[in-house]
């Protein structure tokens, strides 16, 4: 009998390691990886390109309704993000997009539009999906729920290393401040705030390697899949 195709939800604050872990878990299991953060970043890039104030909910939501966002894994193994048929995989990781994505993602219309898309992609299972409201809003009945946390210094160091690979050398204290502010915005927004589902397994990744994080999630998935047939 074939194993059940699971929905694995991984939530947590920025730079907690959830996206890299989710991507590698999906590869190990042969599942589809849904990078919700990339989707919100794509909307943010469109907002900035259009010269719209990220805090202008009416204008942002109107723009989001007209956007076509598509995720595709190409032969190189990387997940590519397309905005209106344009590959924006690199552009959405810029400091400017990072700085404004929390504001854009806080608007109810933006979240409603993307949550609908995320549910459609993952409705048949066989997916690993990461974000901030996956286990509480997008897939509250997910088979496996994980909530990743890490101390602020560890997260800032990870974010600094990420930007350095793109040629941006940003100060650690500034990145820590930005992450702390993003935590505040994500946790206090009215719509789908960052929150741990009551039945989620919390993993503190501060001192863990990516490989260790992946093994923990794989273990949870295997136990759930074995129990489900």
CA distance 49 to 16: 28
What is the chain's mean pLDDT, rounded? Answer: 93
Q: Which domains does the chain have, with CATH numbers?
A: 7-227 (3.40.50.300)
pLDDT band with cut points at 50, 70 and 90 for residue 4? confident
Matching residue, tokens 């741990």? 196
Cβ atoms of 142 and 31 closer than 8 Å: no
pLDDT at site 85: 95
pLDDT value of residue 228: 45
How far apart CA 105 and CA 112 sit, in angstroms, is 10
Tens digit of pLDDT for each residue in 112-127? Answer: 999 999 999 898 999 9
pLDDT beyond 80 at 104: yes
- 90-103 burial, b at 16+ Cβ within 10 Å, e below that, comes to ebbbbeebbebbbb
Distance, in Å, from the CA atom of 45 to the CA atom of 109, rounded to the nearest integer, reads 16
pLDDT of residue 198: 97
What pLDDT shows up at residue 80? 92
Specify the pLDDT at position 217. 98
- Say what the alpha-carbon torsion angle 5, 14, 185, 175 is, to the nearest 10 degrees: -170
- The better pLDDT of the pair 192, 228 is held by 192
**pTM score:** 0.88
The model's pLDDT over 71-98, given as tens digits with 9 standing for 90+, comes to 988 776 678 999 999 999 999 999 999 9
């Amino acid at each position: 009998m074939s194993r059940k195709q699971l929905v694995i939800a991984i939530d947590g604050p920025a730079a907690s390691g959830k996206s890299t872990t989710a991507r590698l878990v999906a590869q190990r299991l042969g599942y589809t990886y849904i990078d919700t953060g990339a989707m919100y970043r794509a909307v943010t890039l469109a907002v900035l390109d259009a010269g719209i104030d990220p805090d202008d909910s009416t204008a942002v939501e109107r723009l989001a309704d007209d956007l076509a966002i598509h995720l595709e894994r190409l032969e190189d193994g990387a997940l590519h993000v397309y905005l209106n048929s344009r590959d924006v995989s690199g552009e959405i990781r810029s400091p400017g997009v990072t700085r404004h994505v929390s504001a854009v993602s806080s608007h109810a219309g933006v979240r409603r539009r993307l949550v609908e898309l995320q549910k459609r992609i993952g409705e048949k299972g066989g997916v690993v999906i990461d974000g901030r409201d996956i286990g509480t809003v997008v897939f509250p009945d997910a088979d496996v729920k994980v909530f990743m946390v890490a101390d602020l210094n560890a997260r800032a160091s990870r974010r600094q290393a990420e930007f350095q690979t793109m040629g941006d050398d940003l100060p650690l204290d500034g990145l820590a401040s930005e992450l702390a502010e993003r935590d505040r915005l994500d946790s206090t927004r009215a719509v789908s705030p960052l929150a741990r589902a009551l039945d989620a397994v919390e993993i503190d990744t501060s001192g863990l390697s990516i490989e260790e994080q992946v093994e923990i999630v794989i273990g949870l998935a295997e136990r759930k899949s074995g129990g489900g047939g």
